[in-house]
Chains A and B, each alone.
Chain A
């Protein structure tokens, strides 16, 4: 059973607008989350993370929001740029070593 879910396989957004990528998790014990971006023919690269002691973390155009009661996190990209077109994975860090990844959302930013 998928413990970290990204229910939208793809998303298209106009350049300059906001992109919102969503992620749900099933285990309320998860307390640290990460977002990765992946371009074709490259490995995932770390984008931003959030601990459960926070409900928001911001880094430039990227903001991650965490709603613990809903077991939901989202990544906001404002403004979206064509170079943001990639596959985005959310992940939960569990215990001392394990990362549980979602299936990814392919974002396409239209110029």
Chain B
């Protein structure tokens, strides 16, 4: 079984809709991250969390919110989706050696 899972894997939605992307991990790591990847760009950090009570904005958090429901679960929400949020979204965890482990990604299309 995969250590970091993301649901859904693909989603098509319309402008203005609320969307939640979910991430679960079985690695037991405290640190979790949400990134987006756009063509021609590297991964950009949206939010990160060091533990359930410690959530921080990344470089591109506008238009997004997160919830850390448990050590193992970290959800990303788009309250009102817009077309320029069309991207590939990755969840990741990291260990004490600062190695990150990524989920398989969610491809989101906002029409």
A and B part of one assembly: yes
Chain A interface (Cβ < 8 Å from any Cβ of B)? 2, 4, 32, 34, 36, 41-46, 49, 89, 91, 93, 97-104
Contacting A at CB under 8 A, from B42-62, are 42-45, 48, 50, 56
B50 is contacted by which of A32, A42, A97, A102 (Cβ under 8 Å)? A97
The interface residues of chain A, by DSSP majority, are classed as strand
B104 is contacted by which of A32, A43, A98 (Cβ under 8 Å)? A43
Residues of B within 8 A of A4 (CB): 42
Total contacts A-B at CB 8 Å: 52
Residues of B within 8 A of A43 (CB): 4, 90, 92, 102-105
Residues of A within 8 A of B69 (CB): none
B43 is contacted by which of A45, A46, A97, A101 (Cβ under 8 Å)? A101
Rounded to whole angstroms, the CA-CA distance of A46 and B97 in the bound complex is 12
Say whether, besides A93-B98, A97-B31, A97-B50, A42 and B104 are in contact (CB < 8 Å).
yes
CB pair B104 A99 closer than 8 Å: no
Pull 15 A–B residue pairs with CB atoms less than 8 Å apart, ordered by A.
A4-B42, A32-B98, A34-B98, A36-B100, A41-B104, A42-B104, A43-B90, A43-B103, A45-B102, A49-B99, A89-B42, A89-B43, A101-B42, A103-B40, A104-B42
CB pair B102 A44 closer than 8 Å: yes
Residues of A within 8 A of B48 (CB): 97
Residues of A within 8 A of B102 (CB): 36, 43-45
Residues of B within 8 A of A41 (CB): 104-105
